[in-house]
């Protein structure tokens, strides 16, 4: 990658979602989580953050909004989204040979008003149970 391309990437304006994921990752690190991966994309879906909390693998879904006018950010993690996250997490665990480890799903909801430098961050531990048949969690 040339200097011009690197500079363009480095200084481009990040989207609200990207800024939210960055803030969530910093927040989780301060809570003692170890971040394994971010923005893991697969045919089964995207996983925002994969972290380790103690001996548990944590799949973290991050939802960022400017306000709660259209509802709380966590409300966007509906049953359909939970099903896709469950499938993507299972695919990740299988591909990495991690099926013997316990896992859970957390949601980090971020409200970041356009006129504010700091967001409000809410962390929902064990936010939902895996959805689907023959699951391995729990």
> Is 4 inside a domain boundary?
no
Q: Which residues of the chain have pLDDT under 50?
A: 137-138
> Is 78 inside a domain boundary?
yes
Q: If you search the block for the tokens 């969530």, which residue do you land on?
A: 24
Residue 59 and residue 47 in contact, taking contact as beta carbons nearer than 8 Å = yes
> Is 117 inside a domain boundary?
yes
Residues 33 and 120: their CA atoms lie apart, in Å, by 19
> Is 137 inside a domain boundary?
no
> Is 43 inside a domain boundary?
yes
pLDDT at 136: 53
**Paired residues of 111 in beta bridges:** 65, 120
pLDDT at 12: 65
* Listed residue (118, 96, 122, 125) closest to 19, CA to CA: 118
Q: Which residues contact 1 (CB under 8 A, 6 or more apart)?
A: 9
- Whole domain around residue 123: which residue ranges? 15-128
What is the CATH number for 32?
Answer: 3.40.1350.10
Total tally of structural domains belonging to the chain: 1
pLDDT at 138: 46
pLDDT at 84: 94
């Amino acid at each position: 990658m040339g200097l011009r391309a690197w500079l363009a990437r480095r200084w481009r304006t990040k989207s609200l979602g990207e800024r939210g994921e960055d803030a969530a990752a910093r927040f989780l690190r301060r809570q003692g989580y170890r971040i394994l991966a971010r923005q893991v994309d697969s045919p089964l879906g995207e996983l925002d953050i994969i972290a380790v909390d103690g001996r548990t693998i944590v799949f973290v879904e991050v939802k960022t909004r400017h306000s709660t006018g259209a509802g709380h950010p966590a409300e966007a993690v509906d049953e359909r989204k939970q099903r896709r996250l469950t499938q993507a997490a299972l695919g990740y665990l299988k591909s990495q040979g991690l099926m013997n480890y316990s896992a859970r799903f957390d949601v980090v909801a971020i409200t970041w008003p356009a006129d504010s430098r700091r967001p409000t961050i809410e962390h929902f531990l064990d936010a939902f149970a895996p959805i689907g048949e023959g699951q391995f969690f729990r």
